[in-house]
Amino acid sequence: MGISPPGPQFSKCRRNVTKFGSLATPLDGIFDTYGLLDELEKYTNAVNRWDLKAMEELPEYMKFLYEAIYNHVSEVARDALLDNGIDILPYLKEQARLS
């Protein structure tokens, strides 16, 4: 399934990987079965803009997930900056981009 680094020093890593996985599951369902093409295009544009204001253009059922992903990515980046002095937000945003 995935790599789970052992030891208490990696607990934050395990938590973040689990959280990303739990956010990816409903997103996959939306893209595979539930979302309409115009809604998926709006979602893709919102992710590519990476702006909470972009959430206003989304259908109601997508807003919660977009905000949860946005907040989690921001939290991971903030933790990396505080813990290690590294700004990883640009890299996370690049990985989140949908094309």
Question: Percentage of the chain surpassing pLDDT 70?
Answer: 94
Summarised one tens digit per residue, pLDDT across range 50-65 is 999 999 999 999 999 9
Residue 75: predicted pLDDT: 94
Cβ distance 59 to 53 under 8 Å?
A: no
Summarised one tens digit per residue, pLDDT across range 8-21 is 888 888 888 889 88
Domain ranges for the chain: 20-96
Instruction: Check whether 3 has a pLDDT greater than 80.
Output: no
CA distance 59 to 14: 31
Residue 14: predicted pLDDT: 85
